[in-house]
Amino acid sequence: MKKLFTFIFLLSTIVLAACSSRSSSTTQEPIEMFMFSQDGGLFVFTNKESFELRGPAISDLSKFLNSSYTKTVEKVEPVFLIDQEDKQVIATLRLYARVDNLTEKQRSELLKTFMFQQTTEVLKNKLQQRYGISAQFDIYDVIYEARGVSRQYENRDELLAKYKLAKPIMATVDRYYGSKVNTSSYSDDDKTINPLTILTAPLWFPVAMLTCLGDKDSSTGFGAFFDPCPFR
């Protein structure tokens, strides 16, 4: 019995030690570059991180952003989860579209072709609390998820000089410490992005969409009197 008690005590200590070694931090960081590549990848640079993302959702996102429905976008919520041990990344981008002025056919296309869903009342109330978006609006939303890695690029500054967004997009970045996840498909070595692999034109963000990406400026000055987002 004494040996059993000792074994359980040691096991509990190991488990607690393993749990306590796991920590995390959350920051808000501006996305400065958002660029699709010809081979189906997506490069996203914040002011601190350089992400390379892959997955079927990248193609779906590109298809939507090149459609006429971008004008319906009311808000976007980018989130990046980084495993600091091996720099593996899980990225999600949630889009909210206001569909009050769309026809039934257009709404159906958003639901069936672009895989949106009708936003729940609970979530609409949260949107009103967080961003001031009226809960009376008819809102659809969709989540795109991709995986990848955060790494250093030798030509990062060169790419930002060419493709930097005119208006940064604020993103939530969660960093987790103390885990070990296999990312053998990626190399930790510094790399260079070949500009030839990037689509000939930077990712097209319609002006109407860009003005809705950040929070409305309620401070004194220009933003206090004019909000260029037509859907807010």
Q: How confident is the model at residue 194 (pLDDT cuts 50, 70, 90)?
A: low
pTM attached to this predicted model: 0.71
Q: How confident is the model at residue 170 (pLDDT cuts 50, 70, 90)?
A: very high
Which residue type, as a one-letter code, is found at position 81? L
Q: How confident is the model at residue 86 (pLDDT cuts 50, 70, 90)?
A: very high
Per-residue pLDDT tens digits for 97-142 = 999 999 999 999 999 999 999 999 999 999 999 999 999 999 999 9
Residue 149, classed as helix, strand or coil, is strand
Q: Which of 6-20, 81-95, 201-215 has the highest mean pLDDT?
A: 81-95
For residue 205, what pLDDT is reported? 45
Q: Report which of 81, 116, 115 is spatially closest to residue 97, judged by C-alpha positions.
A: 116
Query: Which two structure tokens, joined as six digits, stand for 36?
Result: 């699709």
Task: Assess whether pLDDT exceeds 70 at residue 174.
Answer: yes
Task: List the domain boundaries for the chain.
Answer: 24-183+193-209
Q: Are 135 and 121 in contact (CB under 8 A)?
A: yes
Query: Which residues share a beta bridge with 147?
Result: 54, 90
Query: Rounded to 5 degrees, what are φ and ψ at 109?
Result: -65, -40
DSSP assignment of 26-84, as one string? Answer: EEEEEEEEEEEBTTS-EEEEESS-EEEEESHHHHHHHHHHTSGGGGGEEEEEEEEEEET
Task: Assess whether pLDDT exceeds 50 at residue 199.
Answer: no
Q: How confident is the model at residue 206 (pLDDT cuts 50, 70, 90)?
A: very low
